[in-house]
Amino acid sequence: MGDPDLKGRHFLALHDFTTKELTYLLDRADDLKRIQGQDRRAEYLVNRVVALVFQKTSTRTRVSFEVGVSQLGGHAIYLNASDIQLKLGETIKDTANVLSRYCDAIMIRTFAQQDAVDLATYGQVPVINGLTDDYHPCQVLADLQTVREHLGTLAGKHLVFVGDGDNNMANTLMEGGALTGMHVTVCGPAGYQPREDMLVRARELAATTGSQIAVSDDPQAAVAGADVVYADTFTSMGQEAEHDARLAALIGYQINADLVRTAGPQAKVMHCLPAHWGEEITEEVLYGPQSIVFDQAENRLHAQKAIMAAVIP
């Protein structure tokens, strides 16, 4: 059997894809990275226009999508929420129908997952989830690519997410790990652990691959022997008013030199960025010899190029 045909598909959450389809996207990301390293262009999006809708600010998502569209031979239009009518109350349904008349695909970075779902439901072109409060599938595709580059395989490897386990990164890492046979532990204190519905879905996916999805509140025990130790900000966009309370609750879950020593010399350190030194991670660890954080950041470009090349007709 040949490669999966993903043309016209939306990329809203990893659970919408099979293990075979996800592996295909990872392989394609590797191919596009290799081609770029050989100073060759893979122009899959010639004469294609991609709308980039941002209701949340970004560094990596904006730059990697704009560069990626350009490198694939297409044209990206950046649409900040304050620049378009969504800011003034135009409905997602109307926006979806209008943008579909102009553009060949839409990337949205927003708050509610339902906004991305509605954009896909009412539009007529592929919609890519650049981040919502529930999921960050582009980031995790890049993360899986990065782990595979450094460890050679995904199946059987153990990734431990430390910090606020009730967030989009923990949710998506559980799904990505489950689909690829990784063992994923989410480690956070009471009140900062995965929602039950997210945990149930991830474990259902895990049952198909032999993956294991676990929850812990003990960071020292959780990371011992791990292949990957993963951090994310303790305070996500929209939670700024909770910063002090969240920091007080989560500071014991900081990824620092002591925790990395507990994990062991084999452990790779990851962070989806932006990082807040002295909160969820220390500068020493972020720039230490076990960090692969900036390989992660680079792979956003290659993973997203793979997604766009695969789904945009």
Q: How far lies 249's CA from each of 163, 167, 188, 246, in Å?
A: 10, 15, 9, 5
Cα separation, 86 vs 216, in Å, equals 40
Residue 164: CB atoms within 10 Å: 26
Half-sphere CA count of 218, side-chain side, radius 13 A: 5
In tens, the pLDDT along 128-165 reads 999 999 999 999 999 999 999 999 999 999 999 999 99
Spatial neighbors of 298 by CB under 8 A, at least 6 apart, are: none
What is the torsional sign of CA 19, 25, 28, 34? Answer: negative
Backbone angles phi, psi at 132, to 5 degrees: -135, 175
For the chain, the average pLDDT equals 96
Please state the domain extents for the chain: 14-135+299-311, 139-296
Say if residue 86's pLDDT is above 80: no
Q: How far lies 158's CA from each of 58, 173, 174, 241, in Å?
A: 29, 11, 11, 34
In tens, the pLDDT along 241-253 reads 999 999 999 999 9
Compute the average pLDDT of residues 30-46: 92
CATH number of 14-135+299-311: 3.40.50.1370
Q: What share of the chain is helix, strand, coil (3-state, %, to 5)?
A: 50, 15, 35
In tens, the pLDDT along 183-207 reads 999 999 999 999 999 999 999 999 9
Say if residue 11's pLDDT is above 80: yes
Say if residue 43's pLDDT is above 70: yes
Backbone angles phi, psi at 306, to 5 degrees: -65, -45
DSSP helix/strand/coil, 93: helix
Residues forming beta bridges with residue 255, ordered by sequence position: 281
Question: Token pair 């084999």 is at which residue?
Answer: 266
Instruction: Kindly list the catalytic residues.
Output: 109, 136, 139, 232, 272, 300
Cα separation, 279 vs 247, in Å, equals 7
Residue 118: name the closest of 88, 146, 89, 95 by CA.
95
Q: Which CATH architecture has domain 139-296?
A: 3-Layer(aba) Sandwich (3.40)
- Which pLDDT does position 87 carry in this prediction? 61
Say if residue 263's pLDDT is above 80: yes
CA angle 58, 64, 69 (to 5 degrees): 125
- Which pLDDT does position 100 carry in this prediction? 98
- Which pLDDT does position 34 carry in this prediction? 97
Q: What percent of the chain has pLDDT over 70?
A: 99
